[in-house]
Amino acid sequence: TTSINVIGAGLAGSEAAWQIAKRGLKVRLYEMRPEKKTPAHHTQNFAELVCTNSLRANQLTNGAGLLKEEMRRLDSIIMEAADAHNVPAGGALAVDRETFSSAITEKLTNHPNVEVIREELTAIPEGLTVIATGPLTSDPLAQAIKRLTDDEGLYFYDAAAPIVEKSSLDMDKIYLKSRYDKGEAAYLNCPMTEEEFYNFYHELINAEMAELHDFEDQKFFEGCMPIEQMASRGEKTMLFGPLKPVGLEDPKTGKEPFAVVQLRQDNAAGNLYNLVGFQTHLKWGEQKRVFSMIPGLENAQFVRYGVMHRNTYLRSPEFLNATYQTKKRSDLLFAGQMTGVEGYVESAASGLYAGINAALIAQGKEPVIFPEETMMGAMAHYITHASPKHFQPINANFGIIPRLEKRIREKRERNLALSQRALTVLEEFKTTADI
């Protein structure tokens, strides 16, 4: 039999290659490092962690924790190495980055089914292929992928506003309305008094920003300026931008508030909302502190914080199926950050999923779609069903998993129940799908 190509030996590519190899199939694993470097990697190891050594929460009360457990049950090489090389980090799973990625590099390099090719690919190869070249995909390949999507399917920048859970909002303060009542009432509006606005403004312009990487210059797309940068241009600038109150009278008073922050529905289920115009470079803790000053958001649960960084990712809702196959070429799959999942573990999980499907396709079987009750299934569903226009990468979180039939008020308990259901469904799925 011929080999399956996996391009990029990062978090996703390493996991995909392992899932294919352990199923008895041959893999050609291409990695451009150390010949060609990326602006963020420092070693030639596979699955290098480019920033923090934390893989985030490890408990089943957290979406990232559930994802890890699902991966363990699917014999993940990333999770095996993470558990074997962990370092103390409270409720999180942090690893010794050096021994973690060395272990993965050795296991794959020594595997009889894996051929490692240290080479940069500049075109999309023929034949069964998984592309997992990450947010810093080299330029020639990124251009080739862009052409594959008819020039409109690849983002090169990730400027995302924070997303909050609707159930955590104070709806006594917030009202539903579209500006000038045009069309269906679609936005949730958070009204601010003059005093509230200036307090917010002062905290915003003095808040602490995340570190910029050298390769991330300050050039932002038109219309994608970070909110704090806009605010710093002048006291009133935001009032003519995202916080403009005109046409948004508060039904309780009949008057236009001094300022209004709008929230836009983010998913079809309607339980997640994003803060319109709030793409930001603030540190995550600062986002929570400052954005919680917005009336109605005092206790908001942030399922994703705003980010601004370089990122290469597909407009997956248009170009990918929930099997991680492209709609254009059924023997071409994508995995990792390129698909619009966000984070080390999320990237690895999508590699696991795509790797299983590449192996199934090579064996002449049907690729699988994981049930939406599992975190792996919910993420694949989200990235392929979100609105293509506003599509932004997503972390593992319980907001994307279908609700439980029984309502559980207490959050930890509810999350635990969602995790337990996910793991039961996953075990059944493993048996029936024979994976």
Q: Rule CB under 6 A: which residues touch ligand FAD?
A: 7-13, 30-33, 38, 40-41, 50-52, 120-121, 132-138, 141, 213, 336-338, 343-344, 347
Chain residue at closest Cβ approach to ligand FAD: 10
- In the numeric block, which tokens belong to residue 431? 């048996």
CA nearest 9: which of 94, 121, 93? 121
Q: How far is the CB of 27 from ligand FAD (least distance, A)?
A: 14
Q: How far is the CB of 137 from ligand FAD (least distance, A)?
A: 5
Give phi and psi for 261, each to the nearest 5. -100, 130
3-state secondary structure of 434: coil
Q: How far is the CB of 365 from ligand FAD (least distance, A)?
A: 25
CA 164 to chain centre: 15
Is the Cβ–Cβ distance between 390 and 265 less than 8 Å? Answer: no
CB neighbour burial string for 345-371, b if at least 16 within 10 angstroms, e if fewer: bbbbbbbbbbbbbbbbbbeeeebbbbb
Q: How far is the CB of 243 from ligand FAD (least distance, A)?
A: 30
Q: What stretches of 156-219 show up as alpha helix (H) in DSSP?
A: 194-206
CA 131 to chain centre: 17
Q: Toward ligand FAD, which CB reaches closer, 248 or 332?
A: 332
Q: How far is the CB of 7 from ligand FAD (least distance, A)?
A: 5
Q: Toward ligand FAD, which CB reaches closer, 43 or 113?
A: 43
DSSP letter string over 361-414? HHTTPPP----TTSHHHHHHHHHHHS-STT---B---GGGSPPPSS---SHHHH
Place of tokens 């959050």: 411
Q: Toward ligand FAD, which CB reaches closer, 17 or 204?
A: 17
Return d(Cα 374, Cα 376) in angstroms, integer. Answer: 5
Q: Toward ligand FAD, which CB reaches closer, 41 or 264?
A: 41
Q: Toward ligand FAD, which CB reaches closer, 95 or 141?
A: 141
Q: How far is the CB of 16 from ligand FAD (least distance, A)?
A: 9
Q: Toward ligand FAD, which CB reaches closer, 41 or 414?
A: 41
Q: Toward ligand FAD, which CB reaches closer, 54 or 61?
A: 54
Q: How far is the CB of 18 from ligand FAD (least distance, A)?
A: 13
Residues 6+ apart with CB under 8 A from 290: 200, 203, 204, 207, 282
